[in-house]
Structure 1
Amino acid sequence: MKTKIKLYNVMFPVFFLLMVPITPIFLISILVNMIWDYLVFSFLVKKFRLEVDKMEKKIAFLKIFKLGFAADFIGAGILLAMMMGTKIGDHIGNYSYSGPIDQPVGAIIVFLAVVLSGVLLYIFNNKYTLKSLDWSTEDKKKVALWIAILTAPYTFLIPLNIFM
């Protein structure tokens, strides 16, 4: 007796993998971002003389890294969505190639996306990442603020004409 096997969703995983940006630049940016997040978090723990054991530090760092990438992607996603067929998108696209002098409107919009990502970083870290640590509310807010300031996606502001 033959058994019938139906494979309904075989194409979904392959299609999904095509959408995931697995390029050398993306992988390098993940590594650099991870190292930077670790250095910033470690520096802030020492600077503010905060107590945290190794396991808590590791868990907090991984949350900072994951939620930081999420905030960066949200900012980049908003810029990408704005670029899709809008007049504002023309300013953003032109800024990406020519820089802030030629496209001040684009520069302002990209700067606002960096600020939005920074605000999201602060919210994510203050409400979720640092919540489980046994620190005062004031210390959590200070650390979340400094993480947001030091790890915001400032690379959004770099125009491509620098490399050409």
Structure 2
Amino acid sequence: MKKHSIKLYNIIFPIWFLWLIPITWIVVLPANFLIDLIVIVLTMKHLKIENIKQKAKTAIFRVWIFGFIADFIGTAAMFIPNVINFNYDTALGQWWDKNITNAVSYNPFQSIYSLLWVTVCVIITAFFIYLFNYKFCLKKSDLDDIQRKKLALSLAVFTAPYLFYLPTSWFF
């Protein structure tokens, strides 16, 4: 009879998933709000938009909420390798476990495949940040179309979840 070793790689959530645990909300919620507000204000100053305080005040709450929705989408994409299940006795299953599942969860720099996966997840999240801000969050503002596009792009670039790249192996 063949002995199987049991691997428990996915018992510990990766760092990019930790913000979903309620205790971290104490830090994450205000930090995201502050980062979003800073990006909005600095981008509006750069674009020489008048009445920044009032315009930022009307947009910040929606930008903040939709930013979390975009992050959830990116987090779901990051979690997909943990859901896809191969027979780990096969070469493909072993490759998937080593280069995708394990690497995405613990150290995206471990393989080019995991680095590409994480990069795609960051891009997906940034795309949704842009889309949500342009189509929904800034729609009711009195910014013109060009200003809304530039502000949405700024938010997408500067608030994308680059922490997805942070290796959780540093913490264990």
Q: Relative to structure 2, which stretch is displaced further, 133-142 or 117-126?
A: 133-142
Any unmatched runs of 5+ in structure 1? 1-20
* Percent identity for Structure 1 against Structure 2: 28
Check if 1:163 corresponds to 2:171.
yes
Check if 1:109 corresponds to 2:108.
no
Q: Distance in 2 between matches of 1:127 and 1:89?
A: 37
Structure 2 match to 1:58: 57
The number of residues matched between the two structures is: 144
Displacement, 1:158? 0.7
Tell me the TM-score normalized by structure 1: 0.78
Q: Distance in 2 between matches of 1:149 and 1:64?
A: 14
Amino acid at match of 2:125: S
SS in 2 for 1:50: coil
Deviations 1:132-157 (A, max 9, x none): 12222111111111110000011111
Q: Distance in 1 between matches of 2:112 and 2:49?
A: 42
Amino acid at match of 1:61: I
Displacement, 1:86? 3.4
SS in 2 for 1:135: coil
Structure 2 match to 1:76: 75
SS in 1 for 2:143: coil
Structure 2 match to 1:46: 45
Q: Distance in 2 between matches of 1:111 and 1:86?
A: 22
Amino acid at match of 1:51: E
Displacement, 1:99? 3.6
Any unmatched runs of 5+ in structure 2? 1-19, 87-94
Amino acid at match of 1:136: D
Displacement, 1:89? 6.8
Amino acid at match of 1:24: I
Distance 1:22 1:83, change over 3 A: closer
Structure 2 match to 1:95: 104
Q: Distance in 2 between matches of 1:89 and 1:28?
A: 34
Q: Is the 8 A contact 1:92 1:110 kept in 2?
A: no
